[in-house]
Amino acid sequence: MDLQSLLQLKIWGNSNADYLIALAIFVGALIILKIFRTVVLKKLEKAAEKTKTDMDDVVVRIVRDINPPFYLFVSFYAGFKFLTASVAVGRIIDGLLVLALVFQAARALQSLINFWAEKTVKNKPEEEQIKAKAAIKNIASGLKILLWGFAFLIILSNWGFDVTSLIAGLGIGGIAVAFALQNILGDIFSSFSIFFDKPFQVGDFIIVGSDMGTVEKIGLKSTRLRTLQGQEMIISNRELTEARVNNYKKMEKRRIVFGFGVLYETPTEKLKKIPGIVTNIISEEKLADLDRIHFKEFGDFSLNFEIVYYVSTPDYNDYMNTQQSINFAIKDAFEKEGIEFAYPTQTVFVKK
């Protein structure tokens, strides 16, 4: 048998010449992909190192993470398409190609999700990174589950399965589960809302209704507060997002209103000194900034003054220390001036 006859000899519907051409296509495609992986990819890596953006680094990482078996199968598929095969075999090979492509696409999107998660946590301040890492991890995990579920449906659809009924069943089942777990799911989504909106953070002192305390932990379902009495209070995240929350850590300065009364027997000359005395006292306090002081009213048993000032700190202890210092100074100054504070008294006039 000569060479020409050997080449024309058919096996499984294809001549030996067809098999040689398919083999050449397979080897050629494999060489091209190998060159791309070793030469072009290295040049792309060097180019990515010179840029300031991280996105090109992610793209290079995605391409680099493509497994060699994928290149091998793509090369095999390129050579196989030149051959004549039965419908069943062709569908199997096409189905395997879809499986490989969807798998690689899902892995690429998963890398993008990981990049987003890492970038989001990295951009947070150091004190927020620990709690942000847990929240972002949960979000990323949910996205990955949806991603692989969608990829699975695409593969089934391309393999000829009817996914409509499956999606409908999943939808009905999802609704049933959602109704059964609506409180838990509500708290979980509320935790995401707290994370992104940041109405408060760990370490903030907040008031929710009649409850107050320092935030110690923000979890998926609940937030833990340490009250002023020392006990731990657990509040559901959904309740926190639905209620009005006063965050005293966000307060840049505190407005203070206080007053005192002096005796009616105090001479007018000394009454006129009081605003100046109090002004000098408050001006000496580092954290205090006087707004106003007025002789407010004639009370039932005293002449009443009202003072308004600001403390340039949200810390309650600093405010109380400042107020205490002001109170001591006012009492000391009044004692020197002979001004007496009033207290509840009643004068009875007896007519004879």
Q: Which domain holds residue 98?
A: 3-157
Output the domain CATH number for residue 267: 3.30.70.100
Would you say residue 242 lies in a domain? yes
Is the pLDDT at 184 greater than 50, yes or no? Answer: yes
Q: Which residue has the higher pLDDT, 207 or 34?
A: 207
pLDDT digits (tens, 9 = 90+) for 265-277: 999 999 999 999 9
In a domain, 66, yes or no: yes
pLDDT digits (tens, 9 = 90+) for 278-308: 999 999 999 999 999 999 999 988 999 999 9
Band (12; pLDDT cuts 50, 70, 90): low
Region 53-80: mean pLDDT is: 74
Indicate whether 212 pLDDT > 50: yes
Of 250, 267, 290, the one marking the end of a domain is: 250
Q: Is 171 within the bounds of a domain?
A: no
Domain-located, residue 180: no
Same domain membership, residue 91 and residue 152:
yes
Distance of alpha carbon 209 from alpha carbon 242, whole angstroms: 11
Pair 28, 136 in one domain: yes
Q: How many CB atoms are located within 10 Å of the residue 155 CB?
A: 18
How many domains does the chain divide into?
3
Reported confidence tier of residue 329, pLDDT bands at 50, 70, 90? very high
The secondary structure of 121-144 as a DSSP string is HHTS-HHHHHHHHHHHHHHHHHHH
Contacts of 157 (CB under 8 A, 6+ apart): 163
Q: Considering the domain boundaries, does residue 38 fall inside one? A: yes
Q: Is 177's pLDDT higher than 50?
A: no
Q: pLDDT averaged over the chain?
A: 78
Do residue 28 and residue 152 come from a single domain? yes
Residues 12 and 148 reside in one and the same domain: yes
What is the average pLDDT across 146-175?
A: 66
Domain shared by 17 and 119, yes or no = yes
Domain containing 236 — which CATH number? 2.30.30.60
State the average pLDDT over residues 11-25. Answer: 70
Q: Taking Cα atoms as reference points, which of 261, 253, 311 lies closest to residue 282? A: 311
Confidence of residue 351 (pLDDT cuts 50, 70, 90): confident
Residues 57-62, mean pLDDT to the nearest whole number: 72
Residues 21 and 149 placed together within one structural domain of the fold: yes
Pairing of strands 303-311, 232-236: unpaired
Instruction: Give the Cα-Cα-Cα angle 145, 149, 150 (nearest 5 degrees).
Output: 120
Residues 22 and 97 in one domain: yes
Residue 135 pLDDT grade (very low, low, confident, very high; cuts 50, 70, 90) = low
Answer yes or no: do 21 and 150 share one domain. yes
Residue 61 lies in a domain: yes
In the chain, % of residues over pLDDT 70: 73
Assess whether 239 and 260 both reside in one domain: no
Segment 206-233 mean pLDDT: 84
Taking 80 as the threshold, does the pLDDT of residue 156 lie above it? no
238 within some domain: yes
User: Same domain for 77 and 34?
Assistant: yes
C-beta atoms surrounding 269 within 10 Å: 7
Give per-residue pLDDT as tens, 74-123: 777 777 776 766 666 677 777 777 778 788 888 888 887 777 777 776 66
Q: Per the domain annotation, does 65 fall within a domain?
A: yes
Instruction: Return the top range by mean pLDDT from 5-14, 46-55, 326-335, 336-345.
Output: 326-335
- Clarify whether residues 211 and 287 are in a common domain: no
* Percent of residues, the chain, with pLDDT higher than 90: 22
Other C-beta atoms closer than 10 Å to the C-beta of 330 total 20
DSSP 19-84: HHHHHHHHHHHHHHHHHIIIIIHHHHHHHHHHSS-SHHHHHHHHHHTS-HHHHHHHHHHHHHTTS-
Sheet holding 254-262, edge to edge: 254-262, 303-311, 288-298
How far is residue 19's CA from residue 51's CA, in Å, rounded to a whole number?
A: 46
Q: Are residues 125 and 149 in the same domain?
A: yes
